[in-house]
Chain A
Amino acid sequence: MNDILRQLDRGQLVQKLSGAIAVPVIAVATALLAGAAFIAAIGQSPVVVYGILLRGTFGNFYGLGQVLFKATPLIFTGLSVALAFKAGLFNIGAEGQLYIGAFAVAWVGFTFSGVPGFLLVPLCILAGALGGALWGFIPGYLKARFGTHEVINTIMLNFIAMALTGYLVTYVYFVPETVHTQRIAAQAQIPRLEEFWPVFRGSPVNLSLFLALGAAVAVYLFLWKTKFGFELRATGSNPSAAEYGGISVGSAVITAMTLSGALSGLVGVDFVMGYKHYYEGGFSSGIGFMGIAVALLGRNHPLGVVLAALLFGALSYGGLVVNAIVPKELVDILQAIVILVVIAGTNVFGKLVLSLKKKSLG
């Protein structure tokens, strides 16, 4: 079966490699052009606006820190979506998973306030991963057991997660007059980068950035260097062949969704332990959905995900920088166009390369 998969791989290699570079570049260029049209339509100069955006994000350390801060949760959700994709699954539930994960982080953080930091910090991180994992396990289990499509179930679970955390933060764990929980113990908070590198002063980027980068490496090693990762990818590329080759598709599906959920749950580490120090309702504003764009643009590869998260992080902070001249919602429009061009382009581009190949072969 390995041979079959390898042959499959080789046949698609040229198509994939060229697609991996060309399609994202074309997509980003198209989005920037369309964005320029929007900017021009409201009477501003695209060159000026994009210039301010570039200088405000990568032009100084404060901006860079902000970009890294915005990119951190996107790395988590991007990896989450990408890992599920690799197993042929579509996780639209990152949004719900990160809410449950973040709430779990906060709950452990303020409930066990007597535990010393060297224990509490890993406990909180674990809680985030477990909370998200649980929320990913449910649709994985439902798919393996009942064959119901994970897409609808993850969408539904997003809303259930929001209602559930909404209930907890309104009725059970709340600080009066607010929409957030009490603060987590001081020793559970993780420091900002500015404490080590003063150049980042003022930027909320924190050590969870390294957790995110570590997660990217871990996902890479897991998918490409372990037997389990191989089984996931085999399931993703051809479930019936995988089943025939002795892989339990059901358990691969459950594992992939659970791990995917765990990655999304880690967003809570960034938000609760590194930034706000409490759980706050509605904090995400679509980070889970943006993870889909990040995974698509990053071609479901951890390195690509990190780069795509940086790009979307830059756009989303850049939107704030130029908000005075152009509504920051321009960024959402750009993001949507990137996604549409990537998915439409992948198909068209793939066919184009194939037909060129056929021609060159005779």
Chain B
Amino acid sequence: MDWMIALTFISQTIRISVPYTLAAIGGTFSERGGVVNIALEGILLNGAFTCVLATYYTGNPWVGVLAAMLGGLATALIHAVVTVTFKAEQIVSGLAINILAMGATRFLLKVIFGSSSNSDRIVGLPEWKIPLLKDIPVIETIFSSPLILATLVVIVASQFLLFKSVFGLRLRSVGEHPEAAESLGVNVSGMRYAGVALSGVLAGLGGAWLAMDQHSFTDGMSSGRGYIALAAMIVGKWNPLGAAGACLMFGAAESLQMQLQGRNVPTQFIQMIPYLATIVVLAGLIGRSIPPAADGVPYEKEKP
């Protein structure tokens, strides 16, 4: 019996971690390139909404997944235009995009589905029943879901892309020292656009997970996950593997909180864990986590 509970707990933790991980790795790309991305929350939300919309109209969940990535990309591009092209304050832009996403999805929910709380039901992604694997607990959770598999691929590929590829080197140089990168012929704006765009695609995919998991869109369904992803990115030290690890930790806390629900244990204190962890890590109390040097600093080409 306890064995079963433990297995359920692990499976649940993995499932909860998926949207966090995708958004946190997205944020890592954005911030490694020097653009703070608080808009992750709005990107998740818009990703979920476009996913539901596309699936609803085509009846094909794969189209929905694609639409989620495009919806996330479009949202992220607003952030890129405002912050990279117009060099505006990145945090304010991110917040504004979150407000925009919240308002626009709610507005469209009412107009399209005539409801202020949720959309119609959509078909989900098919579950893969792989022989042999489908009988092993936990492994079965991972391999039956295309999006969980995709997340695993994203984690590994991102780590490689960021630290072992020319693209990653350029992206990081732009986030650490844009002037030097520019003088070596790196297109600073272009790289920053790429970083933000990647964050949009990945967080959009995270939104698709939310929509598919629930087979519908509900108002404000990102419910702070973008901010938790941001926290995971910091705790994971702006590093895809680290971010994924932090997401698993936060996912485990949330899973634990779910198990404790209804037992009159105050779950609020478990809810605080990710946020407290971030504050503690940032204060350098358990190892320093230092952001890219030019993170949040708009790049001005012509210095006076």
Residues of B within 8 A of A317 (CB): none
Specify which of B78, B230, B276 is in contact with A155 (CB 8 Å cutoff).
B230
Q: How far is the CA of A292 from the CA of B99 in the complex (A)?
A: 11
Stretch touching chain B among A70-78, A221-229, A333-341: A333-341
Dominant secondary structure at the B interface: helix
| With A333-B103, A347-B87 as contacts: A156 and B278 at CB distance below 8 Å | yes
Q: Are A333 and B100 in contact (CB under 8 A)?
A: yes
Instruction: Give the interface segment out of B46-54, B171-179, B183-191, B263-271.
Output: B263-271
Instruction: Tell me which of B89, B103, B116, B271 contacts A163 (CB under 8 A).
Output: B271
Pick the contact of A330: B36, B38, B107, B271 (CB < 8 A): B107
Residues of A contacting B10 with CB < 8 Å?
A: none
Distance in Å from the Cβ of B210 to the closest Cβ of chain A? 19
Chain B, interface residues (CB within 8 Å), range: 35 or more
Q: Are B269 and A159 in contact, with the CB atoms below 8 A? A: no
Chain A residues touching B, range: 35 or more
Which of A92, A146, A331, A340 has a CB less than 8 Å from the CB of B103?
Answer: A331
A22 part of interface (Cβ distance < 8 Å):
no
The answer to whether A336 and B103 touch across the interface, beta carbons within 8 angstroms, is yes
**A339 CB contact (under 8 Å) in B92, B104, B111:** B92
* Complex CA distance for A323 and B234, rounded to whole angstroms: 40
| Cβ contact within 8 Å between B282 and A166 | no
Q: How far is the CA of A149 from the CA of B227 in the complex (A)?
A: 15
Check if A339 sits within 8 Å of B96, measured CB to CB: yes
Contact A159/B266 with A142-B279, A332-B99 known, Cβ cut-off 8 Å: no
How many A-B contacts at CB < 8 Å in the complex?
129
CA distance A83 to B282 in the complex (A): 24
A164 touches B268 (CB 8 A): yes
In this assembly, does A113 line the interface, its C-beta being within 8 Å of a C-beta of chain B? no
User: Is the C-beta of A185 less than 8 angstroms from some C-beta in chain B?
Assistant: no
B231 adjacent to chain A (CB < 8 Å): yes
A-B CB contact pairs (8 Å), 25 listed:
A145-B283, A146-B283, A146-B284, A148-B279, A151-B91, A152-B282, A153-B282, A156-B231, A157-B275, A159-B271, A159-B272, A159-B275, A166-B268, A167-B266, A167-B268, A329-B107, A331-B103, A332-B103, A336-B97, A336-B99, A343-B86, A344-B82, A344-B86, A347-B86, A347-B87
When A and B form their complex, which 10 residue pairs have the shortest distance between CB atoms, in order from nearest?
A332-B103, A336-B100, A339-B96, A167-B268, A344-B86, A343-B88, A156-B275, A163-B268, A329-B107, A148-B282
* Interface residues in chain A, defined as those with a beta carbon under 8 Å from any beta carbon in chain B: 38, 42, 90, 92, 142, 145-146, 148-149, 151-153, 155-157, 159-160, 163-164, 166-167, 170-171, 286, 289, 292-293, 296, 327, 329-333, 335-337, 339-340, 343-344, 346-348
User: B residues engaging A (CB < 8 A)?
Assistant: 36, 38, 78, 82, 86-89, 91-93, 95-97, 99-100, 102-104, 106-107, 110-111, 116, 224, 227, 230-231, 234, 266, 268-269, 271-272, 275-276, 278-279, 282-284, 291
